Amino acid sequence: MFDKPGDSPQSNSGRDQLEVSVVLPVYQEPQGVRDLIPELVAALASLGHRYEIIAVDDGSSEETQGALRALRTAYPDVVRVVRHLTNRGNGAALRSGIRAARGEVVVTMDADGQHDPRHIQSLLQELPPYDLVIGARTAGYAGPWYRNWANRFYNAFAGWLSHRKIDDLTSGFRAMRREIVLHFLPLFPEGFSAPTTTTLGFLKAGYNVAFVPVEVGPRTGGTSKIRLWQDGARFISLILRMIMLYDPLRIFVPAGFLLALLGTVAWVAGVVNASRLVFPNSTIFLFTACLLVWLLGMISDQIASNRVHYFGDESLVEMEPDEPGASR
């Protein structure tokens, strides 16, 4: 997908001439972009890929607009600025940036200084064979304890539902093939769940997803916009929605078994209390509900199977034969 390192970046005229587009959602982070974008330019230039940087101003104040305007003037060949007239949310900013991108690969990262541009190469070198590479915050991440606990819960819950170990569901630092992520943009929520959407969407649609450990630094400006309880409930809702879109039986089958178990308990309790074979109304209700849930799950699975499509080519790795005399 990429030319060999050392090739000089060329002009950004034409989508087919670009390899990497870095998308930065920005909201009220003037100092963050002043510090980050020069580092990004230096890091990307050293890789030798033809690139662009797209800063999406999500309805920021004049100070942030001024900082972006100055950076656009300082780096006219590689920096582009897309503006929202009002604040629409992180997901909307990512959606706008990805649509505006012209590179084969889109890299998304935060503008608050937590992501080191030097780690971009670690993500890019996994493309191909992977279609999505996520910078997992597993190397010395020192966030608030309640955020760490919540992230571990989201990872475990989403992993159980998707049948795949997920190291970091919500990391905003990731690289992905643009032609694939475009198909998931209509699913992007307005707020802070776009990373969750892409992770589960890529996994359940059959794409190759890798997690690369990266170090995450302290925030250099601004404050986190994520609210623990409100956004936490949205994360859970989104995880369930994505699984319902691609693998509804993963939810309906356990729910049906739970109803069947409750129905069995109610039946045993009724027999013990009545000292004879009886079928309490609660047992009949629970078994009927179990049957209806399973039938609804089968219908949902048929609908999901007809809707899910794999776009793009297969990223396959062919094993080479061992060299004569090589150790096994």
Residue-range definition of the domain harbouring residue 134: 15-246
Residue 5 inside a domain? The answer is: no
Residue 22 inside a domain? The answer is: yes
Other Cβ atoms less than 10 A from the Cβ of 281: the count is 9
CATH of the domain at 189: 3.90.550.10
Shared domain for 83 and 196, answered yes or no, is yes
Query: What pLDDT sits at residue 326?
Result: 53
Shared domain for 271 and 231, answered yes or no, is no
Is 138 in contact with 213 (CB distance < 8 Å)? yes
Distance in angstroms (rounded) separating the CA atoms of residues 10 and 22: 16
Is 22 in contact with 135 (CB distance < 8 Å)? no
Of the residues 246, 269, 294, which one is the last residue of a structural domain? Answer: 246
Query: What pLDDT sits at residue 241?
Result: 74
Shared domain for 156 and 289, answered yes or no, is no
Distance in angstroms (rounded) separating the CA atoms of residues 39 and 31: 13
Shared domain for 146 and 272, answered yes or no, is no
The residues near 14 (Cβ < 8 Å, ≥ 6 apart) are 102
Of the residues 246, 270, 293, which one is the last residue of a structural domain? Answer: 246
Residue 3: exposure state from Cβ atoms within 10 A (0-12, 13-18, ≥19): exposed
Shared domain for 164 and 265, answered yes or no, is no
Tell me, yes or no, if the pTM score tops 0.75: no
Shared domain for 240 and 288, answered yes or no, is no
Label each residue of 74-96 as H, E or C: HCCCCEEEEEECCCCCHHHHHHH
Shared domain for 265 and 213, answered yes or no, is no
Residue 321 inside a domain? The answer is: no
Residue 223 inside a domain? The answer is: yes
Shared domain for 265 and 223, answered yes or no, is no
Low-confidence ranges of the chain (pLDDT < 70): 1-18, 138-148, 192, 217-232, 234-235, 304-328
27 sits in the region (left: phi over 0; alpha: psi -120 to 50; else beta) called beta
Shared domain for 256 and 235, answered yes or no, is no
Q: Tokens representing 14?
A: 């034409």
Paired residues of 177 in beta bridges: 105
Tally of structural domains, the chain: 2
Shared domain for 302 and 172, answered yes or no, is no
pLDDT in tens, 125-135: 888 889 999 98
Shared domain for 284 and 198, answered yes or no, is no
Place of tokens 């590689």: 78
Shared domain for 56 and 102, answered yes or no, is yes
Q: Tokens representing 257?
A: 């078994």
DSSP track, 86-154: S---HHHHHHHHHHH--SSEEEE--SSS-B-GGGHHHHHTTTTT-SEEEEEEEES----HHHHHHHHHH
Of the residues 246, 274, 296, which one is the last residue of a structural domain? Answer: 246
